[in-house]
A = this chain, B = another copy of it.
Amino acid sequence: MILHHVIESQQFTVPLLLELFDRARIMERVVAKGGTLDYQHKIMATLFYQPSTRTRISFEAAMHRLGGRVCSTEEAKTFSSEVEGEQLEDTIRIISGYTDVIVLRHMEMGGAARAAAVSSVPVINAGDGSGGQHPTQALLDLYTIFRERRTLDGLTIAMVGELDRGRTVRSLAYLLSKFDRVKMYFVSPPEVQMRHDILEHLEERDVWFAQETEIDTVIDAVDVVYVTQIRPGRMQEREKIQKYFMDASVLKKMKPDAMIMHPLPRTLELDKAVDHDPRAFYFQQATNGLYVRMALLTMVLD
């Protein structure tokens, strides 16, 4: 299947997702063997207008594991702001004349689509604004579940935290709605619950979901608990937010084969005591990001 720009998770159909997962599995074997692939003539630019060391290095390591080359920009923002009239579009037109694929993180929602509109090479969205998309994160989340369970059909998942602002959980909910018999619990304080656009989308697609306010109510029923960051300062009262913490006491109530996921970085909501539990998958998630990004790069470069 042909893939050019990677802008939002919505663009991925189930067959495209399955091809991506197949390729990611192959990439995993390439890395395990310590080899590289045949992309030594390809150049990827990472153009980050907001710094993000982990995401950037994940993409750059992916390109290196493919045998390719990288032109890196750790923080592009400071430069372009020097010239008021300078615009993203001109930069993309120029950089796309030098390289074979552009990985872009931009501070504005829609930045990636604007870039794709003028780029002569594929653009991969590595996050555009806090209200925007971060599709490769959603894809690696999905791959992590798929890799472990070999199917996404019939999955029961709880998404926990500040769901209103969580672009990760929004994309994940969207993608999971494409599979059969998925059940979703949205666990959050009432004031930060999952927004209506997603809930309406799920209703339209006839996906089962429920909104809850305590992790304890649902934890013994789920295959996956997807915990997201609680930003310090937003929900001050510790006793109030503790209901959304993943810690040793919660572990005891989980199914023995459940998965604990988190997009990282974490604040208080994910206790270090959980790290050594075999059900903790968040570091595996990060590593899967390497394979998924390698797979995506091969799909857009081929």
Contact = CB atoms under 8 A, between A and B. Distances in A.
Contacts of A47: 53
A36 interface: yes
A69 B43 CA distance: 12
A53 B36 contact: no
A61 to B, nearest CB: 4
Contacts of A75: 74, 78
Contacts of A80: 53, 265
A169 interface: no
A283 B94 contact: yes
Contact of A54 (B34, B64, B69, B95): B95
Interface string A220-242: 00000000010010000000000
A35 B62 CA distance: 21
A217 B145 CA distance: 68
A65 B267 CA distance: 40
Interface stretch (A85-93, A130-138, A179-187, A250-258): A85-93
Given A57-B98, A61-B71, A41 B52 contact: no
Interface of A: 34-36, 40-41, 43, 45, 47, 51-54, 57-58, 60-62, 64-65, 69-76, 78-80, 83-86, 90-91, 93-95, 97-99, 229, 232, 264-268, 283, 286-287, 290
A95 B286 CA distance: 9
A55 to B, nearest CB: 10
A52 B64 contact: no
B43 A35 contact: no
23 contacts: A34-B41, A36-B41, A43-B61, A43-B65, A45-B57, A47-B53, A51-B78, A54-B91, A54-B94, A57-B98, A60-B71, A61-B99, A75-B78, A84-B267, A85-B267, A85-B268, A90-B265, A90-B266, A93-B283, A93-B286, A97-B283, A97-B290, A98-B290
A95 to B, nearest CB: 6
A286 B89 CA distance: 14
Given A43-B64, A97-B287, A98-B290, 20 more contacts: A34-B41, A45-B61, A47-B53, A51-B79, A53-B73, A53-B76, A53-B91, A57-B71, A57-B95, A57-B99, A60-B71, A61-B71, A62-B98, A64-B69, A64-B71, A70-B71, A74-B75, A85-B265, A94-B286, A97-B286
A53 B53 CA distance: 18
